[in-house]
Structure 1
Amino acid sequence: MITGGTDGIGAALARTLFSRGDRAVIVGTNPKKGEQLVAEAASAPGSAVFIKADLSLVANTLRTVDMLAEEYPAIDGVVLCARFMRSHRSVTAEGFESNFALFYLSRLLMSYGLLGPLEKAGRPVIVNVAGPGHDTLVAWNDLQSVRQYDLVHAMFMTGRLNDLLGVTFAERHGGGPVRYVLFHPGTTATSYAGDFDPQTAAYLQQQRMMAKPATDVVAPLLRLLDDPPAPPLTAFNLFTELNLHAELFSAKDAERLALLTDELLARLAG
């Protein structure tokens, strides 16, 4: 199951999976691109299913999780790629900053929500594609960039939240079969989906032209899916394993974030 599966790394991985005989369940917001992938899979050894869902809304993510868990009682792997960048701060209908909602909350809800189907698979793994190991400080008093918003800082800080999500998930479920992997793809020519001012758009276009193709990221992802690492939590920059004993993966910080997130979600539910 791949979120953000209609573009960039997600789409490249989906094509490889159904081309070799696997079933790829693709979650995204673009029906045209999703249907194109399903059509390509029709002549492949495997298959593809497209699910349209806007995961920036907690309610949509929860509905998608329930649907996936009901439709697929066993899931071998979950690859979390969905993101949408914005030059200017945006708030969802539920009141969350958009990066925080899509890049962090949806990945948290997918990780925990699909735990049941994952535990029924042989060697299950969650791969969170979020750029682990960056030394951006977590603004504990401004997790959703209310006081000051900057696109690059918001993306890096939300990536740090995903690092801490992995730490907490491994602490809670490390005794079970599901492995959690934080994965950094490096600079890659993805779709750079987002809403940008002209200057940022021009810069990203330049970056895209110089970056490696998304297909170059498929091999290290397949290695993680086919042969998940033994420890409950690992982090990789492509094929290179990162040190998780650094302060960036602090268990204390992970617990703090988990408590704050639980409060936010409880407030929304209330």
Structure 2
Amino acid sequence: MKTHVITGGTDGIGKAVARHYLDRGHEVVVVGRNAEKGKAWLDAARQRGAAERAHFVNADLSLIAETRAAADSVRSSFARVDTLVLCARHFRTTRQVTAEGFENTFAHFYLSRFVLSHGLVDLLEAADTPVILNVAGPGGQAQIHWEDLQLAREYDGQRALMQGGRLNDLLGVDFADRRPDTNVRYVLLDPGTVNTSFSGQYASDIMAHIEVIRRSAQSVEEAITPILQVLDDPPTAPLSAFVQGEPLSPHGPGFTVEEARRLHQHTQKLLAASAARTARD
């Protein structure tokens, strides 16, 4: 029996992956901020006769404290984690700063994945074939605003998400570079356009565009096929990338080790400063 930890597991792709592995007899931990959806997940598992293997961790992943608490919750219940699936994403048309002082999309889409990837690595390394699957759209061409990563000056919701994809690419590069001897396989994956819940706060014109996209988007059931293949048979390389099931080289422009190390150092400083503020308060 394997243990799967899935963020964003109460909706869309994450929910479908969670349900798949629960039905296969595995332990499944869903992390989400909506307690009602978490209860629905547990109720559905009970109806499937799998209540003892279904778990819900209530956490707002835009908050570092809650992300760390979620990792601690997993640690208190399991000695190993076989797969960590990072699916949580939330769009914001307008810029919002969290109570901890971070821009919401930056914190939710990137910082939480950084904290969980590094924070659960020892539990992952205790598994036989562990894999971190970061669903973030690798290989994008978006600019990284190094002097303004949280887009305080020129925020745009789409720009924030696209930059977040680039930051997650570098997270994967740095993870593999920093741990050359780990048995954990880091996989960056773009499932393509999928008819999911499109979690977020949208302006009316953007919402209208999304409704158009839904008409031609692939179903969740179609989208999870390459995801399940990666999780069931992880690549042998420390770092891999896929776009709709097709391999993408995680090397060259957009995946440079120098930029990945720069981002890691910057992130560590931000997290340290946040911890210091919390300690003072």
Residue 65 of structure 2: which of 59, 62, 83 is its match? Answer: 59
Residue 34 of structure 2: which of 30, 33, 48 is its match? Answer: 30
Return the letter of the residue paired with 2:148. D
State how far apart, in whole Å, the 2-side matches of 1:189 and 1:252 are: 36
Aligned positions of 1:103-114 closer than 5 A: 103-114=109-120
Secondary structure of 1:12's counterpart equals: helix
The normalised TM-score by structure 2 is: 0.93
Match of 2:165 in 1: 159
Match of 1:266 in 2: 272
State how far apart, in whole Å, the 2-side matches of 1:257 and 1:176 are: 21
Match of 1:39 in 2: 43
1:242 aligns with 2:248: yes
Secondary structure of 1:176's counterpart equals: coil
Match of 1:208 in 2: 214
Match of 2:279 in 1: none
Match of 2:6 in 1: 2
Residue 45 of structure 1, CA deviation: 6.6
1:18 aligns with 2:22: yes
Secondary structure of 2:97's counterpart equals: coil
Aligned pair count reads 270
Residue 69 of structure 1: which of 71, 75, 84 is its match? Answer: 75
Please list every run of 5 or more consecutive structure 2 residues that lacks an aligned counterpart in the other structure: 277-281
Residue deviations 1:10-52, cap 9 Å, x none? 0111111111211211011122222222222224475321111
Residue 149 of structure 2: which of 136, 143, 149 is its match? Answer: 143
The normalised TM-score by structure 1 is: 0.97
Return the letter of the residue paired with 2:202. F
State how far apart, in whole Å, the 2-side matches of 1:197 and 1:105 are: 25
Return the letter of the residue paired with 1:16. H
Return the letter of the residue paired with 1:17. Y
Residue deviations 1:228-251, cap 9 Å, x none? 101110001121110122211011
Deviates more, 1:42-51 or 1:62-71: 42-51
Deviates more, 1:14-23 or 1:45-54: 45-54
8 A contact 2:174–2:261 mirrored in 1: yes
Return the letter of the residue paired with 1:42. R
Residue deviations 1:87-139, cap 9 Å, x none? 11111011101010000000000001111111111100000000000011111
Residue deviations 1:170-211, cap 9 Å, x none? 011231111100010100111111111111111112212321
Q: CA RMSD in A?
A: 1.2
8 A contact 1:13–1:215 mirrored in 2: no
Residue deviations 1:125-183, cap 9 Å, x none? 00000000001111111111111011111100011000000000001123111110001
